[in-house]
Amino acid sequence: MSDQKINTLGFIGLGVMGGPMCANLLKKGGKPVVVFDTSAAALQDASSHGASVAQDVGEVAGKADIIFLSLPSIDQVETVANAILAAPRKPAMIVDMSTSNVARTRALAKLVNDAGVHFVDAPVARTKQAAIDGKLFISVGGSETDFEHVRPYLQCMGSDVLHCGDIGNGQIIKILNNYMVFMTVNALSEAITIGRRAGMDADKLLDLLSQGSADSFALRNHGMKSLAKDTFPEKTFPMTYAIKDCALALDLAKEGAFVPRIGTYTYNVMCQARDAGFAQNYHPAVIQLIDGRVKVDLPAQV
């Protein structure tokens, strides 16, 4: 596979993250992009940025040399990948930018490779705004050669594009990155609750903590922009997405015969928040359960 053979790119999955990622690929990639999504509105938006709209997955496979996927879970990734492989004409490479189960990603990669198509996992981290700005963190699993082929296009979407090793390693980094964020949000929620009850304003508390050793990306982003201001909008990495990613981390732990206490507690609190009506809200909404504003019986520590 050489750059000369890459004439057209494909993008399937134009959701909250995929839409702006595709827009940046169109803007900076230097190649035509053919797209598909089940949402007519998403397709119209991609078309307004210059994309060619396909009628189905098979049409994308018939035109694109590298196809990027940004889908809700490994279930959809497997379905779409199989549809690509069933097409009369196949791409040279599939790049899964979804957050997917590691074992199933590796099994799918073997299936795709056996069909003569290269496979790379390249899940993304950071916020919707980072996707819009082209400043995502992208962790990549695959061969060094495949990474070098796809890196110029990933750099259209991300400011930090890291090769993490073999297939599945990109997923491990992404999953554990988010896992750490979820636990940190839980800890920040407790710190804010303690500070507020002691008479301190949350904005002031976090501003001062950011100047000490407690500083972190999660404190400045999730803490200052959401937790302290009690702002938990929909369509900004909702609780259901956080639960899914945390569950993937717990699956990895189980495969390694490890029982994570903090992570399990965090997962259970997020499930409680989902059931309390916050399924579509930005996941730091857990603070409303932690500080007692929403009355639920929080899970006991394991």
- 121 and 223 fall within a common domain: no
**Which tokens go with 120?**
């790379």
Average pLDDT for 254-275: 97
pLDDT, residue 180, reads 97
Give the pLDDT of residue 5: 79
**Segment 250-279 mean pLDDT:** 97
Catalytic, out of 28, 174, 204, 244? 174
174 is an active site residue: yes
At 298, the pLDDT band (50, 70, 90 cuts) reads: confident
In a domain, 31, yes or no: yes
The CATH number given to whatever domain includes residue 23 is 3.40.50.720
pTM of the model: 0.92
pLDDT of residue 135: 98
| 118 and 225, same domain (yes or no) | no
Q: Is the pLDDT of residue 302 over 60?
A: no
Same domain, 136 and 280: no
Residue 95 is given by DSSP the state E
Residue 93 has pLDDT above 70, yes or no: yes
> Which pLDDT score is estimated for 252?
96
Banded pLDDT at 1 (limits 50, 70, 90): low
Residue 27 scores a pLDDT above 90: yes
Tokens standing for residue 130: 């980072």
**Do 102 and 159 reside in the same domain of the chain?**
yes
Average pLDDT taken over every residue of the chain = 96
Q: Which residues contact 139 (CB under 8 A, 6 or more apart)?
A: 122, 123, 125, 162, 164, 169, 170, 171, 173, 174, 177
Please check whether residues 24 and 71 belong to one and the same domain: yes
Residues 6+ apart with CB under 8 A from 85: 111, 112, 115, 117
Which pLDDT belongs to residue 2?
A: 52
Rounded to an integer, what distance in angstroms lies between the CA atom of residue 261 and that of residue 162?
29
The predicted structure's pLDDT at residue 301: 59
pLDDT of residue 127: 85
Judge whether residue 62 has pLDDT over 80.
yes
User: Does 301 or 288 have the greater pLDDT score?
Assistant: 288
Residue 244's pLDDT is what? 95
Residue 237 in any domain: the answer is yes
Is the confidence at residue 14, as pLDDT, over 60?
yes
Residues 34 and 149 in one domain: yes
Determine the pLDDT at residue 51.
Answer: 98
Same domain? 148 vs 177: no
- Structure confidence at residue 38 (pLDDT): 96
Q: Provide the number of structural domains found in the chain.
A: 2
| Together in a domain, 80 and 201 | no
Would you say residue 81 lies in a domain? yes
Q: Which has the higher per-residue pLDDT, 301 or 172?
A: 172
Virtual CA dihedral for 227, 230, 233, 239, nearest 10 degrees? 50
Report if residue 210 sits inside a domain.
Answer: yes
pLDDT bin (cut points 50, 70, 90) of residue 299 is confident
DSSP 281: B
What is the per-residue pLDDT across 184-216, written as a single tens digit (0 to 9) for each?
A: 999 999 999 999 999 999 999 999 999 999 999
Share of the chain above pLDDT 90, in %: 93
Mean pLDDT, residues 234-250 taken together: 94
Domain that holds residue 228: 172-290
* 78 and 224 assigned to the same domain: no
Q: Is the pLDDT of residue 61 over 70?
A: yes
Task: Specify whether 81 is located in the same domain as 230.
Answer: no
Q: How far apart are CA 261 and CA 267, in angstroms?
A: 10
